[in-house]
Structure 1
């Protein structure tokens, strides 16, 4: 079985204002005889029904041994034989990247493609565009919402306002589509609603630590806050790409993507 999950800083799916409910999976119908290759079942956005999906998947794999399942979501299903592939975030340019190198970064290309007709990347806006992409962690939804503000604000003002208040700027003026895709705040609220109290506590603690924390420090501050042991909730947050782990010579360090840190700080 294969399972793909989105990374951090893709954004948390939006929430409709009600707690997620358990849903029944649709019935499985085998592929007709003579269909080439093994059957493939795609299960998309499983995080809010992960337990039900895992249970149904195990049953389907037992009933149809040749079945392959591709499941997308914020966390692995945790069923036997699962292989996890993390979808990486869009690449973002480091500070002082030369203008001619900016289009080689995925986030810059997406942002400029979504910008108003006639927008061109040039020496006057390059630094601001690069800063916008970094501030938004290369998240496609956030970049789309930011690009929609370019017509009214321009690149420099947009970058400044994102630094001052991320969630006040990233809203959409469209009426169609899911509510969770209309604002970055709604998107983050969905994911926050799916977290356990210990997971929320760990995010709040890490939000106040610029530059990240080594594991020993995470364990210490979490224990002081009543989260002990901290490794289970911390591991789940890493699995969901809400916490980034960097493994170095001195051991692992943990930090939050900028968008997650901004939301967790506001809910501290």
Structure 2
């Protein structure tokens, strides 16, 4: 989806400064218009299943008595009233048929706390990918229980997948007990907010370092993997070992040297082909276990 917006927004996130202590949403972000602000979402041809939408859901809180304006595919401008109150609100907007573009306008400064939109169609599997690049995951505890519970009421998630860890792995790290302690808190935090939702952790993958003339598994990865297994066991959630799925110890060089290559020569990151392969391995494992559950 192509995302464009005006430059008169105030924002904060888990990964930025938040000097005003603005309440972050489920994505770890918040946006506040500064008057006559706008945002536009336009579908692309990257995925056939995502070429259009028939429902737009806007999530917000703490709204002033006011209205926003919206239009679909450059058509006539329409208005919608915002609900006041501190709880998370959901505003549902529907085009006459299928749409490819929606533009939202926010005429009032500090009109509300806005947390994003969901572009949907009537049926299908919905995946909300909430990236926190460079984050260890422990900051998720900063999102308040009340906000998470409000979103839970609207989203009714069936599965939460947590994939963190590589960003704390380093040659100087030998003790991950603090990470184990904090991530257990995060998982319990999510369990309390989403009591009917299953939770699955994805482990760290192999990361290689040069030793002599060879590339071998960074020993910190092995320690971190054990820590993540302990987290899953103590928090009583499922764990999928990406490390084992890709071949275990010293597997990253094989992915780098595959034909075609599946990882970059930094021996840390997958390329597009490698990411697609990991996704397929995960999906096959998930569906196999789901079949056993049924």
Structure with greater helix share of residues: 1
TM beyond 0.5:
no
Structure with greater strand share of residues: 2
TM-score normalized with structure 1 length? 0.25
- Structure with higher RCO (Cα < 8 A, 6+ apart): 1
Higher Cα Rg, which structure: 2
